[in-house]
Structure 1
Amino acid sequence: MNEIENFYFEKPEPTKGCLLSLRKIIMSQDTDISETWKYGMPFFCYKTKMFCYLWFHKKHLKPYIGIMEGNRFNHPDLIIEKRSRMKLILFDPNEDLPIDTIHYILQTAIGFYKNGEIKIK
Structure 2
Amino acid sequence: MKQLDDFYLNLEEPIKGTFLALKEIILKQDKDITHVLKYGMLFFCYKGKMFCYLWIHKKFKQPYLAIVEGKHFDEPFLIQESRSRMKIMLLDPNKDLPLEQIEMIIQSAINLYKSGIIKV
TM over 0.5: yes
User: How far off its partner does 1:4 sit?
Assistant: 1.4
Q: Is the 8 A contact 1:4 1:41 kept in 2?
A: no
**Alignment partner of 1:21 is 2:21:** yes
CA RMSD of aligned residues (A): 1.0
Structure-1-length-normalised TM-score? 0.95
| Aligned position for 1:3 | 3
* Aligned partner of residue 16 in structure 1, secondary structure: helix
Structure-2-length-normalised TM-score? 0.96
| Aligned position for 1:62 | 62
Unpaired segments of 5 or more residues in structure 2? none
Within 2, Cα distance between the matches of 1:109 and 1:119?
12
Q: Is the 8 A contact 1:41 1:53 kept in 2?
A: yes
Cα deviations by residue, 1:59-111 (Å, 9 ceiling, x for unpaired)? 11111111001001110110011100000001111000000000111111111
Unpaired segments of 5 or more residues in structure 1? none
Within 1, Cα distance between the matches of 2:48 and 2:28?
17
| Aligned position for 2:44 | 44
| Aligned position for 2:88 | 88
User: How far off its partner does 1:3 sit?
Assistant: 2.1
Pairwise mapping of residues 72-87 of structure 1 onto structure 2 (< 5 A)? 72-87=72-87
**67-76 or 6-15, which deviates more:** 6-15
The alignment covers a number of residue pairs equal to 120
* Aligned partner of residue 4 in structure 2, secondary structure: helix
User: How far off its partner does 1:2 sit?
Assistant: 2.2
| Aligned position for 2:115 | 115
